[in-house]
Amino acid sequence: MKRRRFLKIAIAFLGSVTLLSFIYALVKFLSALPSRIAEANRLTIRKSDIPSGEAKNFVYQNAPAVIINRPDKGFIALTRTCTHLGCLVEYHHVKQRMMCPCHAGSFDLEGNVMSGPPPKSLTSIPFRIEGENIVIG
């Protein structure tokens, strides 16, 4: 009977270890708080990286975006996906516009449509200024 007892204890031990591993995994799974996932998605850019009149491209929630340092009105962050057929719009320093190369759609630096086929304005992306940094997301 010693063998049977040993086997029963061994199985119970393995069983508890397995159960505890799953419970551990589940607890960690549930404590992936939104802030932890958001942190992974958060983007920080130094203000000094973008001189006045310049722009910097970045990726926001898997979509291309741009942050522009407008000479008159300060920073703005816009999506770069043209609302016409989805091409990427480019920031034109000289014209102070966002231009779409595909069908010549043009947006002002608030994202509003100035001319061309785009039906809607570009979405602006919220961001915060924290001291020397711009924080998006």
Q: How far is the CB of 60 from another protein (least distance, A)?
A: 10
Cα distance between residue 45 and residue 48, in whole Å? 9
Inter-CA distances, 135 with 39, 71, 132, Å: 11, 20, 10
Q: List the one residue from 1, 2, 32, 131 that touches another protein (CB under 8 A).
A: 32
Nearest approach in angstroms of CB 46 to another protein is 14
Q: Which is nearer to another protein, 13 or 129 (CB)?
A: 13
Does residue 31 bind another protein (CB under 8 A)?
A: yes
Inter-residue contact 75 to 129 (CB < 8 Å): yes
Options 54, 71, 101, 112; binder of another protein; rule CB under 8 A = 101
Q: How many CB atoms lie within 10 A of CB 1?
A: 5
Chain positions 105 to 124 lying near another protein, rule: CB under 8 A, are none
